């Protein structure tokens, strides 16, 4: 038995088995795999959104009119001060203004507009021959400076994932090369041609999170990628793990289940059960960052869909306008009905195509009528249960739909709405064409805002009660100074929970925060050699 | 309607609800053909007339509820209700009974609750039970053309005269002469042959085979067994097409079989009947594969479906052995419908990352969701 199999066996609670539910949609992957990975095309202008990921904000480190070099840092996080954006090529910053960004609606965000000078002149960067001489903290620092985010689509900063392993012991690092959505072949193309770099990246990640074992998981039908991996893996401790193709096995929680038969407890993270997962694309970016000293300025993006003459994979620069890439693939305007970012099952429909490629853009689909027919009319739910059969989380989508429609939130919670991963398998099989995911998202949003309201009203209630208590105390103190001590605040405040607003607790919290900040400041100065005096908030 | 979908998934299967409904109707075809062959055109007439009435009522209800008539009619759900209703009522009923029954099924049992998907009870069975309770004598007579009783002529329910008689029975105003009701004898005098005398018997098919009689001769009493085999084959087709899941039919058939074996005593008190006849000598097959599996009114979780099937199986046997009604499928299925919401509430599958299927308010956290390809 192979080593990793043994480890996985030891991690297993029960015997290994495929995930429950799941679907096997036609994958249309062959058309993009016909050609090789295309080298980085450089468009005239690059649009680099400052807020690349979620809600975090970045601030530019350059001004309009500045000349920048390739790999130069051009923006850093507002909160942590960590550089998260680098110039993909050399050129001039034309403007820092609002530009449209990829979104289902017309949405704009602050972007750096970079005009190339055609020289592609690089800034000095250090290469590293042997990463093993570095400590894990130094590795994490290198990865952090390269602005790497989860390239699989979750936009989660990789450094945070790695750091979370510091406190919790990581037993198993999983490199996720399971691209279960149709059309997307970015990871497959990457592994086919750059398997040795991915394996090295995986080794670096393993060292950085101090994982005991590392496996690369791939679908068994990706023959070329498996062959390439097997050839490079000979003298590596990393094991290859093949699983049957089924959507949505590539989802983090489902893949953990498929590999280890363990489940991530609801509300927890994989690190809580000693598992860390990174995407194969992330591993490649980590290799580039640590060994070649190149920050993350490009990513592999699949351009697919029936409206493209030559669908293929690009190693595209971040900030490349999508329509530029579409035209490179020979977009047929007549058949082009819509543009999807991401896969056909979880992606978003783009409102416009003059928007840039982001660090998370793994696929662009120029849809045509034959593969993506217009939406059919939504019929009544007949509770056939096809959806429940395919749900990977073993939820009951038909019941969730029922309760979402009548806004019965307690039943929605009871049926596990918050455990829905929105993979869309239920809506894929629904014979009545019900857009189930839309219902679930609306309910989740409503639920979240309700919770927020509840918490804030609770806070105001307690503040008010505290205020009343103070007023009463003051009154009584004025009337009878001797009775002041006899009334205790607990008698008047709410019984259900300790008061959120308490002066002592607030003082303690502030003191603790000050200590934390000081400590972190000291650490930060120490680790950056005192050059960077910017402090955390 | 014509624009592309706004939310994922953008790729979908081509399977549609109206197609599923059509497949259910297709699954009924072997049963319908065999029943027509043995019991005459009355069976076919019931089905066709039910369809016509059902579509009219459905269109009326849809327009009253100001829905889009064409798209809603196209879901074919009224068609399925009509076919199942037409198959369960005895042939030879006058048209207005059919009209009342299917009207009750479509208007009261289905659309008053909100139409397809909202009805808590199986509409066809509601319509059937409505007729059974209101017109018990008409509903327990099973008319077959009176040729069957004449020893001179060959027994041929599908002959032209058989058709004529069926038409006259269904549309009494068609006959010029006043009809003598005695002319149309209660051929088998029951909805199904599961009366005490028959239940104690052996398989007629087996008898016919052993005595070298033709298995398909219409004079032999192999009709009901063959009809059930027809429904069984149709049910197998539905299972194969994954229109229905195996849980409900298997649970019902296993339960009926088990309990009838437990109570069966050869040569003993005859009322309990042989296990074989409980399965194939009655309406068990159409009930197990076509009626109890109506997804709208059945339990929807897999565990729930199994318990639902067991409950129906037990009540099928209970009504037959100890009840006063001859037909037990409708009562059993409606009882199952009553309990389905309860079963769905308690018998849920265990959710990923949880120890249980039913979550309390404390299980709010879903953690890091929306994570695909990490």
Does the structure show a pLDDT above 60 at A534? Answer: no
The residue behind tokens 């629904």 is: A430
Residue A50: the pLDDT is 85
Reported as type and span, the H/E element at residue A173 is strand A172-176
Residue A56: the pLDDT is 63
Cβ–Cβ under 8 Å, residues A201 and A285: yes
Closest residue in A to B369 (Cα–Cα): A421
**H helices present in A262-395, as ranges:** 280-290, 322-328, 386-390
Q: Per DSSP, what are the bridge partners of residue A332?
A: none
B371 and A251 in contact by Cβ < 8 A?
yes
Mean pLDDT score, A343-353: 88
| Chain B interface, best mutation among A431, A440, A446, A448, by max B CB count within 10 A | A431
Residue B358: the pLDDT is 75
Residue B151 confidence class, pLDDT cut points 50, 70, 90: very low
Does the structure show a pLDDT above 70 at B274? Answer: yes
Residue A370: the pLDDT is 84
The residue extents of the domains of chain A are: 3-36+129-290, 382-501, 510-537
- Return the closest-CA partner of residue A85 out of A95, A93, A94, A77: A77
Phi and psi at residue B136, to the nearest 5°: -60, -40
What digits encode the pLDDT tens for the residues B205-230?
A: 666 666 666 555 555 466 778 888 99
Closest residue in A to B297 (Cα–Cα): A383
Interface check A105 vs B, CB under 8 A:
no
Cα A465 to Cα A486, A525, B119, B166, B281: the distances in Å are 18, 45, 49, 82, 75
Residues 6+ apart with CB under 8 A from A407: A443, A446
Q: What is the rounded CA–CA span in Å between residue A294 and residue A315?
A: 14
Residues in chain A with CB shorter than 8 Å from the CB of B19 are 431
Cα A145 to Cα A85, A142, A292, A528: the distances in Å are 9, 5, 13, 12
Q: Which member of A375, A384, A420 has the closest CB to residue B4?
A: A375
Residue A15: the pLDDT is 41
Cβ–Cβ under 8 Å, residues A377 and B3: no
Residues 6+ apart with CB under 8 A from B119: B109, B110, B113, B296, B297
Q: What angle is formed at CA A516 by the lines to CA A510 and CA A520, rounded to 5 degrees?
A: 145
- Which burial class, exposed, middle or buried, applies to A512 when counting CB atoms under 10 A from its CB (0-12, 13-18, 19+)? exposed
Does the structure show a pLDDT above 90 at B137? Answer: no
What digits encode the pLDDT tens for the residues B33-57?
A: 988 887 778 888 899 999 999 999 9
Q: What is the rounded CA–CA span in Å between residue A154 and residue A217?
A: 18
The residue behind tokens 């897999």 is: B302
Cα A394 to Cα A385, A388, B247: the distances in Å are 12, 7, 17
Q: Which member of B1, B71, B374 has the closest CB to residue A279?
A: B374
Q: What angle is formed at CA B17 by the lines to CA B16 and CA B23, rounded to 5 degrees?
A: 95
Q: What is the rounded CA–CA span in Å between residue A230 and residue B217?
A: 69
Residues in chain A with CB shorter than 8 Å from the CB of B349 are 388, 394, 396
Residue B148: the pLDDT is 45
What digits encode the pLDDT tens for the residues A184-225?
A: 999 999 999 989 899 989 988 888 888 888 999 999 888 888
Distance from the A440 Cα atom to the nearest Cα atom in chain B, whole angstroms: 11
Cis peptide before A248 (omega within 30 of 0): yes
Interface check A432 vs B, CB under 8 A:
yes
Distance from the A346 Cα atom to the nearest Cα atom in chain B, whole angstroms: 6
Residue A372: the pLDDT is 86
Q: What is the rounded CA–CA span in Å between residue B19 and residue B25?
A: 10
Cβ–Cβ under 8 Å, residues A422 and A397: no
A428 and B374 in contact by Cβ < 8 A?
no
Q: What is the rounded CA–CA span in Å between residue A259 and residue B254?
A: 37
Choose which CATH entry (1.10.1040.10, 1.10.3720.10, 3.40.50.11540, 3.40.50.300) describes domain A3-36+129-290: 3.40.50.11540
A396 and B366 in contact by Cβ < 8 A?
no
Residue B179: the pLDDT is 47
The residue behind tokens 């495929």 is: A18
The residue extents of the domains of chain B are: 15-191, 195-349
Does the structure show a pLDDT above 50 at B181? Answer: no
In three-state secondary structure terms, A111 is: strand
B351 and A414 in contact by Cβ < 8 A?
no
Does the structure show a pLDDT above 60 at A408? Answer: yes
Cβ–Cβ under 8 Å, residues B60 and B138: no
The upper half-sphere exposure of residue A205, i.e. CA atoms within 13 Å in the direction of its Cβ, equals 40
* Range with the largest mean pLDDT of A520-534, B65-79, B173-187: B65-79
Mean pLDDT score, A417-436: 91
Residue B192 confidence class, pLDDT cut points 50, 70, 90: very low
Distance from the A419 Cα atom to the nearest Cα atom in chain B, whole angstroms: 5
Pairing assessment for the beta strands A67-68 and A213-219 based on DSSP bridges:
unpaired
Q: Round the average pLDDT of chain A to a whole number and report it.
A: 83
Q: Which member of B8, B12, B300 has the closest CB to residue A346?
A: B8
Q: Which of residues 351-410 of A touch B (CB under 8 A)?
A: 362, 367, 371-372, 374-377, 379-385, 388-389, 392-396, 398-399, 410
Q: What is the rounded CA–CA span in Å between residue A286 and residue A205?
A: 7
What digits encode the pLDDT tens for the residues A501-517?
A: 677 778 888 888 888 88
Cβ–Cβ under 8 Å, residues A313 and A302: yes
Reported as type and span, the H/E element at residue A46 is strand A45-49
Q: What is the rounded CA–CA span in Å between residue B328 and residue B313?
A: 10
Q: Per DSSP, what are the bridge partners of residue A313?
A: A302
Residue A439 confidence class, pLDDT cut points 50, 70, 90: very high
Residue B183 confidence class, pLDDT cut points 50, 70, 90: very low
| Chain A interface, best mutation among B12, B245, B356, B374, by max A CB count within 10 A | B374
- Of A173 and A39, more confident: A173
Mean pLDDT score, A241-258: 88
Interface check A266 vs B, CB under 8 A:
yes
pLDDT > 70 in chain A, percent: 86
- Return the closest-CA partner of residue A212 out of A274, A269, A143: A274
Q: Which member of A277, A415, A419 has the closest CB to residue B352?
A: A419
Closest residue in A to B349 (Cα–Cα): A394
Residue A480 confidence class, pLDDT cut points 50, 70, 90: confident
Query: Is the ipTM value over 0.85, yes or no?
Result: no
The answer to which of A441-445, B298-302, B351-355 has the lowest mean pLDDT is: B351-355
B9 and A438 in contact by Cβ < 8 A?
no
């Amino acid at each position: 038995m192979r080593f990793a199999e043994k480890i996985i066996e030891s991690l297993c609670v029960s015997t290994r088995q495929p995930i429950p539910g799941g679907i096997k949609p036609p994958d249309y992957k062959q058309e993009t795999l016909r050609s090789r990975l295309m080298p980085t095309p450089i468009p005239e202008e690059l649009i680099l959104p400052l807020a690349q990921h979620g809600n975090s904000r970045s601030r530019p480190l350059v001004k309009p009119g500045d000349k920048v070099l390739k790999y130069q840092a051009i923006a850093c996080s507002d909160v942590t001060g960590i550089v998260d954006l680098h110039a993909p090529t050399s050129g001039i910053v034309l403007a820092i203004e609002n530009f449209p960004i990829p979104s289902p609606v017309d949405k704009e965000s602050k972007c750096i507009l970079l005009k190339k000078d055609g020289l592609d002149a690089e800034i000095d960067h250090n290469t590293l021959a042997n990463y093993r001489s570095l400590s894990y903290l130094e590795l994490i620092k290198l990865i952090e400076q390269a602005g790497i985010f989860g390239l699989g689509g979750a936009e989660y900063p990789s450094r945070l994932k790695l750091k979370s392993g510091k406190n919790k012991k990581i037993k198993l690092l999983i490199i996720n090369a399971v691209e279960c959505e149709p059309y997307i072949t970015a990871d497959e193309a990457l592994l086919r041609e750059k398997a040795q770099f991915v394996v090295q990246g995986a080794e670096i990640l393993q060292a950085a999170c101090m994982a005991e074992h590392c496996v690369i998981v791939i679908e068994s039908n990706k023959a070329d990628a498996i062959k390439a991996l097997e050839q490079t893996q000979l003298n590596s401790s990393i094991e290859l793990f093949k699983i049957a193709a089924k959507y949505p096995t590539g989802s983090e929680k489902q893949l953990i289940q498929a590999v280890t038969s363990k489940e991530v407890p609801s509300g927890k993270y994989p690190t809580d059960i000693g598992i860390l997962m990174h995407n194969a694309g992330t591993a490649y970016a980590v290799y580039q960052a640590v060994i070649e000293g190149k920050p993350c300025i490009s990513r592999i993006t699949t351009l697919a869909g029936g409206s493209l003459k030559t669908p293929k994979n690009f190693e595209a620069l971040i900030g490349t306008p999508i329509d530029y890439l579409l035209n490179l693939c020979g977009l047929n305007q007549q058949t082009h009905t819509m543009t999807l970012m991401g896969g056909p099952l979880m992606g978003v429909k783009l409102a416009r195509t003059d928007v840039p490629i982001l660090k998370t853009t793994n696929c662009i689909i120029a849809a045509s009528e034959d593969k993506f027919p217009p939406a059919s009319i939504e019929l009544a739910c007949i509770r056939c249960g096809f959806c429940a059969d395919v749900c990977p989380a073993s939820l009951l989508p038909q019941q969730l739909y029922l309760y979402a429609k009548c806004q019965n939130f307690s039943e929605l919670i009871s049926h596990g709405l918050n455990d829905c991963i929105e993979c869309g398998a239920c809506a894929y099989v629904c014979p009545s064409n019900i857009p189930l995911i839309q219902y679930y998202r609306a309910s989740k949003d409503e639920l979240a805002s309700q919770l927020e309201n509840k918490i804030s009203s609770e806070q105001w209630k307690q503040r008010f009660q505290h205020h009343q208590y103070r007023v009463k105390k003051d009154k009584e103190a004025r009337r009878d100074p001797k009775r002041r001590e006899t009334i205790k605040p607990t008698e008047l405040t709410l019984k259900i929970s300790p008061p959120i607003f308490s002066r002592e607790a607030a003082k303690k919290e502030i003191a603790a925060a000050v200590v934390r900040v000081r400590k972190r400041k000291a650490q930060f100065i120490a680790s950056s050699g005192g050059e960077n005096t910017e402090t955390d908030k | 309607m014509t624009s592309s979908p706004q939310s994922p998934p953008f790729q979908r299967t081509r399977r549609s609800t109206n197609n599923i409904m059509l497949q259910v109707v297709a699954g009924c075809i072997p049963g319908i053909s065999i029943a027509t062959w043995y019991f005459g055109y009355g069976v076919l007439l019931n089905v066709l007339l039910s369809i016509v009435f059902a579509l009219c009522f459905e269109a009326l209800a849809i327009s009253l509820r100001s829905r889009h008539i064409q798209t809603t009619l196209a879901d074919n759900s009224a068609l399925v209700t009509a076919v199942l209703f037409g198959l369960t009522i005895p042939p030879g009923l006058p048209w207005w009974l059919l009209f009342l029954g299917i009207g009750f099924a479509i208007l009261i049992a289905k659309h008053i609750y909100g139409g397809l998907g909202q009805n808590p009870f199986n509409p066809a069975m509601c319509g059937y039970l409505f007729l059974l309770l209101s017109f018990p004598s008409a509903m327990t007579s099973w008319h077959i053309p009176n040729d069957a009783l004449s020893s001179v002529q060959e027994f041929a329910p599908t002959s032209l005269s058989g058709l004529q008689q069926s038409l006259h029975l269904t549309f009494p105003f068609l006959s010029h002469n006043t009809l003598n009701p005695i002319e149309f004898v209660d051929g088998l005098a029951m909805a199904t042959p599961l009366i005490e005398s028959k239940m104690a018997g052996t398989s007629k098919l087996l008898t016919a085979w052993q005595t070298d009689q033709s298995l398909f001769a219409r004079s032999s009493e192999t009709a009901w067994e063959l009809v059930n085999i027809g429904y069984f084959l149709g049910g197998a087709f539905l299972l194969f097409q994954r229109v229905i899941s195996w849980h409900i039919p298997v649970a019902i058939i296993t339960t009926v079989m088990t309990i009838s074996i437990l109570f069966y005593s050869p040569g003993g008190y005859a009322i309990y009947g042989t296990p074989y006849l409980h399965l194939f000598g009655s309406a068990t097959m159409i009930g197990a594969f076509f009626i109890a599996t109506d997804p709208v009114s059945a339990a929807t979780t897999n565990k729930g479906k199994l318990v639902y099937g067991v409950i129906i199986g037990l009540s099928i046997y209970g009504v037959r052995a100890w009840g006063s009604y001859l037909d037990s499928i409708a009562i059993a299925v409606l009882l199952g419908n009553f309990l389905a919401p309860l079963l769905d509430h308690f018998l849920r599958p265990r959710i990923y990352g949880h120890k249980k299927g039913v979550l309390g308010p404390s299980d709010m956290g879903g953690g890091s969701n929306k994570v695909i390809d990490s």
